[in-house]
């Protein structure tokens, strides 16, 4: 691979153009739009989900369907807006039927995700659900056991797993110990961490 083919050598905008043309795995054959990711390129907080769903595939934007609206509610509950964060997925094209991405599909997209992380350089990554958690932290326990745990990662970044918002839609109870209750506890931890460690950078600081 020469320098111009190296995702790490690109700007975020140029990387997105590269991903939009990607045909490295069969998901490119069934997608409507690539869903690269979006948000504040100077974000302290980066969210990583599994893959685009139907609404995301139709629009090209991440987390804009029912799960995305639930995610917005979770973030808003502690005063975090989309303008402050960067959000993406492990795979950038929708797996048919919203199935879990195959290992080869995630491997094909991994250089793009790694380049996004390197370019944004967040201080904290929230992994939404088991798939991104296991991908970035191989051998991590199941999400029901490690959600809300701050895991030291590379380059001083910490990772904290949380339930995927689609899981909250399937289990709407707010009772103590429910996924919604636990998510509320976890996002409060994230807010407190950002208040203590965040750089409070805005897109105007670029």
* CB distance 44 to 195 below 8 Å: no
Q: Rounded to an integer, what is the distance from CA 160 to the centroid of its chain?
A: 11
Q: Rounded mean pLDDT of the chain?
A: 93
Model confidence, pTM = 0.92
Q: What is the pLDDT of residues 18-61, one digit of tens each?
A: 999 999 999 999 999 999 999 999 999 999 999 999 999 999 99
Count how many Cα atoms sit within 13 Å of the Cα of residue 95 in the half-sphere of its side chain: 15
Q: Is residue 32 part of a domain?
A: yes
Q: Is residue 162 part of a domain?
A: yes
Q: What is the pLDDT of residues 71-122, one digit of tens each?
A: 999 999 999 999 999 999 999 999 999 999 999 999 999 999 999 999 999 9
Residue 199 pLDDT level (bands cut at 50, 70, 90): low
Q: Is residue 205 part of a domain?
A: no
Q: Is residue 187 part of a domain?
A: yes
Greatest distance between any 2 Cα atoms in the chain: 55
Q: Is residue 35 part of a domain?
A: yes
- Domain at 119, CATH number: 3.40.470.10
21: burial class by Cβ within 10 Å (0-12, 13-18, 19+)? exposed
Cα separation, 173 vs 122, in Å, equals 32
Number of domains in the chain: 1
Residues 150-170: what's their mean pLDDT? 96
Q: Is residue 34 part of a domain?
A: yes
Q: Is residue 26 part of a domain?
A: yes
Q: 16 is in which domain, residue-wise?
A: 3-197
Going by C-alpha positions, the residue among 172, 170, 171, 149 that lies closest to residue 160 is: 149
Residue 8: what pLDDT? 66
Q: Is residue 79 part of a domain?
A: yes
């Amino acid at each position: 691979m020469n320098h111009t083919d190296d995702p790490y050598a690109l700007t975020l905008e140029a990387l997105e153009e590269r991903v939009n043309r990607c045909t490295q795995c069969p998901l490119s054959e069934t997608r409507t739009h690539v869903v690269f990711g979006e948000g504040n390129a100077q974000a302290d907080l980066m969210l990583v989900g599994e893959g685009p769903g139907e609404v995301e595939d139709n629009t090209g934007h991440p987390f804009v369907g029912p799960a995305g609206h639930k995610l917005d509610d979770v973030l808003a509950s502690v005063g975090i807006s989309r303008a402050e964060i960067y959000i993406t997925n492990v795979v950038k094209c929708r797996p048919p039927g919203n199935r879990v991405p195959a290992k080869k599909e995630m491997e094909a997209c991994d250089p793009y995700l790694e380049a996004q992380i390197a370019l944004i350089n967040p201080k904290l990554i929230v992994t939404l659900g088991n798939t991104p958690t296991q991908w970035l932290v191989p051998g991590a326990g199941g999400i029901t056991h490690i959600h809300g745990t701050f895991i030291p990662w590379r380059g001083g970044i910490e990772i904290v797993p949380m339930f995927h918002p689609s899981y909250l839609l399937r289990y709407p109870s707010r009772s103590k110990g429910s996924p919604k209750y636990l998510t509320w506890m976890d996002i409060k931890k994230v807010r407190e961490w950002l208040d203590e460690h965040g750089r409070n950078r805005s897109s105007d600081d670029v």
